[in-house]
């Protein structure tokens, strides 16, 4: 029987809601997340759109996530999108996380999520400055920001340290938690540039050094077009359901960081249909009830914070609960994972000598081991001499590099 053979309109009561099995969810994941070899992409923009956005908190994640899904993986293709054509835009957005999204989607992400986060960041920074030593207020912050933007306009791009030569106020430090055991000093410059970035005034340019470097110069950007908030939320929800559906209301709320009310409103605005999942009630776009053909067997090595691994709050259909302690850190960040036919079956790491090693967390079989070995060779080939250490270390990753 088809996984949707009991389908009906959710507004009626004549028969049960359509049911989508875990097997069908994994088949969708293989195709829509470009993980099965036959469905890999040619351009980094196609990868970003397939996943709505690429996690960008860790500089290396964008490259590793994209190249896992490119037919011809290369750091140069990712750099083209990020720094040459600038078709990928980094925004502090969903779940207060940095994402790289395509320039066509960026106005919707900004208006639905990033703009509100930027407003909270600015308010928090002003409170922080006022509570430090009284030398800063809103007026001085505005003047300093204007000077920074003028300096960037003249220089083209510059690091925070270079900008501080033109704007001495950036070199000032303020006290964090005065009188506390963890009292510390922090430069105004680093916080102010992050604020200008979250506001959409500046972007990170090509890093100084390799693609794993976090030493970024800054460059000006054209302001993003603003979209009405409700329209923007509906578009983000639509894109997310097209990529991650079926999924639960809790999944979308968690992934976006929206309130429950905004989540439900966005689902209603896109006409989402209710379906039965093993996890409970799920949602799909109204035109997305057809079965997906099973793909060929596939394996993948995905990095820490990969969008697929972090795409849902309820993960039992692709991740065994007993494996969570080995693969996640205490803050809920997932480390590098090994996939076989839509399930996480292990973790991987790169040792100091460049060797990529993995450990199974389940009985995978000979076919899976051969496919995983081929993915390890593929990853090693395009990475070359580059060494990557995840920003968020997990127990299994630490064990593998000893």
pLDDT of 177 reads 63
Domain boundaries, position 178:
123-220
Residue where one domain finishes, among candidates 174, 199, 220: 220
pLDDT of 1 reads 35
Task: State how far the Cα of 176 lies from the Cα of 132, in Å rounded to an integer.
Answer: 7
- Answer whether residue 340 is part of any domain: yes
DSSP designation for 385: T
The tokens for 327 are 């693969």
- Answer whether residue 392 is part of any domain: yes
- Answer whether residue 162 is part of any domain: yes
Task: State how far the Cα of 221 lies from the Cα of 203, in Å rounded to an integer.
Answer: 6
Instruction: Name the CA dihedral angle for 264, 23, 321, 331, rounded to a multiple of 10 degrees.
Output: -50
- Answer whether residue 211 is part of any domain: yes
pLDDT of 384 reads 94
- Answer whether residue 278 is part of any domain: no
Peptide bond connecting 246 to the previous residue in cis, omega within 30 degrees of 0: yes
List per-residue pLDDT tens for the chain, 402 residues long: 344 433 433 344 445 789 999 999 999 999 999 999 999 999 999 999 999 999 999 989 999 999 999 999 999 999 999 999 999 999 999 999 999 999 999 999 999 999 999 999 999 888 878 776 667 888 999 999 999 999 999 999 999 999 999 999 999 887 766 667 766 777 889 889 999 999 999 999 999 888 988 888 999 998 899 999 999 999 999 999 999 999 999 999 999 999 999 999 999 999 999 999 999 999 999 999 999 999 999 999 999 999 999 999 999 999 999 999 999 999 999 999 999 999 999 999 999 999 999 999 988 999 999 999 999 999 999 999 999 999 999 999 999 998
> Which CATH number covers residue 176?
1.10.10.10
pLDDT of 132 reads 65
pLDDT of 182 reads 66
pLDDT of 3 reads 40
Q: Are 303 and 395 part of one and the same domain?
A: yes
Task: For residue 154, count other CB atoms closer than 10 A to its CB.
Answer: 9
Residue found under tokens 């259909």: 317
- Cα angle 121, 123, 127 (rounded to 5 degrees) comes to 115
Range list of H helices, 18-112: 22-32, 44-50, 59-67, 75-79, 106-109
Burial string for 219-257 (b: 16+ CB within 10 Å, else e) reads: bbbeebeebeeeebbbbbbbbbbbbbbbbbbbbbbbbbb
Task: For residue 14, count other CB atoms closer than 10 A to its CB.
Answer: 6
Q: What is the largest CA-CA distance in the chain?
A: 72
Query: How far does CA 24 lie from the centroid of its chain?
Result: 24
Task: For residue 193, count other CB atoms closer than 10 A to its CB.
Answer: 24
- Answer whether residue 185 is part of any domain: yes
In a 10 Å sphere around its CB, with 0-12 CB exposed, 13-18 middle and 19+ buried, how is residue 209 labelled? exposed
Task: For residue 338, count other CB atoms closer than 10 A to its CB.
Answer: 25
pLDDT of 300 reads 98
- Answer whether residue 113 is part of any domain: no
Task: State how far the Cα of 70 lies from the Cα of 311, in Å rounded to an integer.
Answer: 19
Split into its structural domains, the chain has a count of: 2
Q: Are 305 and 393 part of one and the same domain?
A: yes
Residue where one domain finishes, among candidates 180, 200, 220: 220
Cα Rg, the chain, nearest whole Å? 22
Task: State how far the Cα of 285 lies from the Cα of 146, in Å rounded to an integer.
Answer: 44
CB-based contact 101:52 (threshold 8 Å)? yes
pTM of full prediction above 0.85? yes
Query: How far does CA 196 lie from the centroid of its chain?
Result: 20
- Answer whether residue 370 is part of any domain: yes
Residue where one domain finishes, among candidates 197, 220, 243: 220
């Amino acid at each position: 029987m088809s996984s949707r053979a009991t389908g009906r309109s959710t507004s009626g009561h004549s028969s049960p809601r359509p049911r989508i099995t875990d097997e069908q969810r994994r088949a969708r994941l293989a195709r829509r997340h470009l993980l099965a070899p036959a469905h890999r992409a040619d351009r980094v923009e196609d990868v970003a759109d397939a996943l709505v956005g690429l996690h960008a908190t860790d500089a290396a994640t964008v490259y590793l996530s994209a190249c896992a899904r490119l037919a011809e993986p290369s750091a140069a293709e990712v750099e083209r999108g990020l720094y040459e054509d600038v078709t990928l835009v980094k925004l502090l957005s969903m779940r207060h996380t940095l994402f790289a999204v395509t320039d066509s989607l960026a106005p919707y992400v900004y208006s639905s999520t990033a703009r509100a986060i930027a407003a909270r960041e600015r308010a928090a920074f002003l409170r922080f400055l006022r509570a430090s030593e009284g030398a800063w207020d809103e007026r001085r912050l505005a003047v300093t920001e204007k000077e920074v933007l003028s300096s960037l306009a003249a220089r083209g791009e510059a690091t925070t340290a270079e900008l501080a030569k033109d704007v001495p106020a950036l070199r000032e430090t303020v006290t964090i938690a005065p009188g506390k055991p963890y009292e510390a000093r922090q430069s105004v410059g680093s916080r102010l540039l992050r604020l200008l970035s979250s506001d959409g005034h500046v972007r990170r340019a090509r890093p100084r050094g390799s693609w794993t470097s976090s030493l970024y110069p800054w460059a000006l950007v054209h302001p993003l077009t603003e979209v009405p908030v409700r329209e923007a939320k509906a578009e983000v929800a639509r894109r997310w359901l097209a990529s991650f559906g079926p999924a639960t209301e809790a999944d979308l709320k968690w992934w976006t960081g929206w309130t429950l009310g905004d989540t439900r409103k966005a689902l209603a605005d896109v006409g989402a249909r209710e379906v039965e999942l093993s996890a409970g009630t799920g949602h799909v776009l109204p035109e997305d009830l057809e079965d997906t053909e099973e793909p060929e067997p596939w394996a993948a090595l995905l990095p820490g914070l990969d969008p697929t691994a972090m795409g849902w709050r309820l993960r039992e259909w692709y991740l065994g609960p007993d494996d969570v302690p080995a693969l996640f850190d205490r803050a809920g960040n997932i480390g590098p994972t090994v996939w076989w036919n839509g399930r996480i079956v292990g973790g991987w790491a790169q040792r100091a000598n460049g060797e990529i090693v993995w450990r199974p967390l389940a009985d995978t079989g000979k076919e899976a081991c051969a496919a995983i070995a081929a993915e390890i060779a593929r990853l090693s080939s395009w990475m070359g001499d580059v060494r990557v250490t995840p920003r968020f270390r997990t127990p299994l990753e630490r064990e593998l590099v000893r």
